Structure formats: C-alpha cells, structure tokens
Amino acid sequence: MERVKLGRSGLEVTKIGFGGIPIQRLPEQNAMEVIKSALERGINWIDTANAYGNSEERIGKVIQSFRREEFLLFTKGAGKDPETIEKQIELSLKRLNVDYIDLYQFHLVPDRETWQRMVDNGTVERVLAYKKQGRLRHVGATAHKLEAALATIEHPEIEVLQFPLNFIMTDDGLKALEASIKVDAGFIAMKPFGGGELDDAPCCIRFLLQYPEVVTDPGFESVEQVEKVLSLCEEGAPLSERDRAKIEKYKEDVGTRFCRRCGYCSPCEHGVDIIPLMTMESMIKRFPAETVLNGDQSRAVESHENCTDCGECEEKCPYELPIRERMKAGVEMFRELKSRFNRRYA
Ligand code: SF4
Ligand code: SF4
C-alpha cells in the first residue's frame, strides 16, 4: 500500500490507518482478529485514545505478536492540565504495553482559548518533556472546530493535525488541510465515513485519495471491512461521474441533517450542550451503550431541559440544520437506549 510522509514528523504511514473506536463494541476475540488482520494486511499505523474504553488494552495485547518496528502507534489524551495529561500518558503506555508511542495527540482541543490555557499552564510542556525522554516520539492535536485546529498547528511543536474531512465535511476540512500543508504538519482525515453517516465506501475512500497529503484511519468492525477498504485504496480509482452524482445526492439527503460538529451554533446562552445531542445517532452506532449513557450525551440530555426553543442556534448554523428537531430526536434516542440497557441488565 502507498505510504505518505506525515508532514514534518517524517513518519511514513500507509494511506489507510486503523481507527480504534469500533473495536470497543466487539467481543474481545473478534476485536483482536480485526486488529491482527489489519496489521497483517499491511496497515502500518494504529490510532486510538485514552478515552476509547478498552481499545488501548486490546491493541496492546495484539501488538505483542508483532515486532515493534513493524507498526506505528498513535494515541491521544484530553487532559487540560499537566497532572491529568501525565496520568493519561502513563496509562496509555501501560495499557498499550509499549516503551514509546509514535504520535501523541492532544485530543479534541475545543477552542483557541483552551489551547492557549494548555500552553500557559504547562500541559503542552509536560507532553514535550515525554518527547524529550523518547517515550513519545512526535506530538499532534485533534480538533473538530477550525479555529481550534488552526491554533494548535500555529504551535511549532505540533507536527500532525487530525481533523474531520469527508465529502460532506469539506468547508472547514479543506481549510484545515490547506493550513496544515502550509506549516508542513501531517494531516489525518478524521471521520472518513462521516461518523457512520456515509455508507458508500468507494465514494468515501476515492474522495480522500484525491488529496496526496491526506491519510485516514477508519474504524473497522470486521476483517471483511478491512479487506474492502484496503482493496479500494490499492485500486486507487478516481471519483467517477457516477460517484460524483452519488455524492451530490448524499449532500442533498444527509447534508440537511448531518452535524459537522463545527460548533458555530454554540454556546447556547441557556446552557444547552447542543453537539452531543445532534450527534447522538452516530455515537449510539459507534460506541458501547455504557459509554454513551455515562458520557457527554447523558449530561447533554439533562441540559436540554433548559432549552427555551428560541431558535438562535439555528440562525447561527451555517448548514441550516433543524437543530431543535434533531436535538429532540437525540433525547428520544438516548431514552430508548437507556430503557433497552436497563431492561437487558434488570
Ligand atoms: S448544529 Fe450546525 S453549527 Fe452546530 S455543530 Fe452542528 S453543523 Fe455546526
Ligand atoms: S433553541 Fe435556543 S435555548 Fe434551545 S438550544 Fe437553541 S439556542 Fe439554546
């Protein structure tokens, strides 16, 4: 499989990496088989996160049967102060059972102010101290909002950016890509399948293949999915006229309800946490029920009680999404999930 240099990190990675989210939901044996098949089939990098439940542990078990130089390991921590990020790094090294991590990413930096705080309060410095020791080889950041992404790559030590880019999320995605290329930061396209919303693998992969600097790390749930995506990548076909027509159709259908997590609608002055409600369906599809029921979604459902139905968020959304309607649907989905979960474990 073609390899790409990940910006000035110099890491040579296959166009397709292994995203560590969906393996949390699989029975352990299946998860291990999927990870193993990806590495055996030629994928040379795995990307996970401290926040992805048992993902790091499972990856840690599988990689013991591979030589360390055969693969690159990327993970992330969302700590916003030095003590928390240090704990997260130590935990990742332990769970992955390795002496070093090839790329450590600040996970989901929410905005420019928070990033500046992390620089000022020593969080970034603590990570760089690990880099000096060689326990982290390179440092990057992930974000959903363009302004946050741009803030991180302005920092001279951020070598790689991970940001959403797929054929629906092009506006900010392409701006982030352009900015990354300018500073020679590597670019990992997050959400190549739109967080589960885009189910046409050929269109998704061919869309990304047209950008030579871009690599991506879809989450796989089966050995067959690994094979399918890698075959598409190796085939290297450009988008056909038919693909382009399908993409236009997707934009019409999904584009009117797909939340890009850009954050332009927030903050809501009544304290409603809009994005976790807007992305409820995708979260329920991709994450274990326990994660959804105990995470941001649960707090967001509570915050929805404060919604006054004023509609200001809809005026701010550049994609004109029916936010109020989608939030209500999100609350309903959460309640259904909760009652299914409670019935199962009653
Ligand atoms: S609702 Fe609209 S503005 Fe808010 S995050 Fe989603 S796409 Fe962006
Ligand atoms: S409708 Fe008004 S109160 Fe409700 S989430 Fe949107 S901005 Fe907040």
Complex prediction ipTM: 0.99
Judge if 83 and 206 occupy the same domain: yes
| Beta carbon of 211 within 6 Å of any ligand 1 atom | no
Judge if 145 and 62 occupy the same domain: yes
Establish if 255 belongs to a structural domain: no
| Beta carbon of 219 within 6 Å of any ligand 1 atom | no
| Beta carbon of 317 within 6 Å of any ligand 1 atom | yes
Which of 203, 230, 246 is the last residue in one of the domains?
246
The preferred substitution site among 108, 316, 319, 320 for testing ligand 1, maximizing ligand atoms within 8 Å of CB, is: 319
Give the domain extent around 340.
274-344
Judge if 204 and 280 occupy the same domain: no
Residue type, 67: R
Q: Which atom of ligand 1 is nearest to the CA of 316?
A: 3
Number of domains in the chain: 2
Judge if 178 and 104 occupy the same domain: yes
Judge if 37 and 74 occupy the same domain: yes
The preferred substitution site among 170, 279, 321, 327 for testing ligand 1, maximizing ligand atoms within 8 Å of CB, is: 321
pLDDT (tens, 9 = 90+) of the chain, 346 residues, equals 889 999 999 999 999 999 999 999 899 999 999 999 999 999 999 999 999 999 999 999 999 999 999 999 999 999 999 999 999 999 999 999 999 999 999 999 999 999 999 999 999 999 999 999 999 999 999 999 999 999 999 999 999 999 999 999 898 999 999 999 999 999 999 999 988 778 899 999 999 999 999 999 999 999 999 999 999 999 999 999 999 999 998 888 887 788 888 888 999 999 999 999 999 988 898 888 999 999 899 999 999 999 999 999 999 987 889 999 999 999 999 999 999 998 887 7
- Which residues have CB under 6 Å of ligand 2? 268, 270, 272, 274, 307-313, 323-324
* Residue closest by Cα to atom 1 of ligand 1: 259
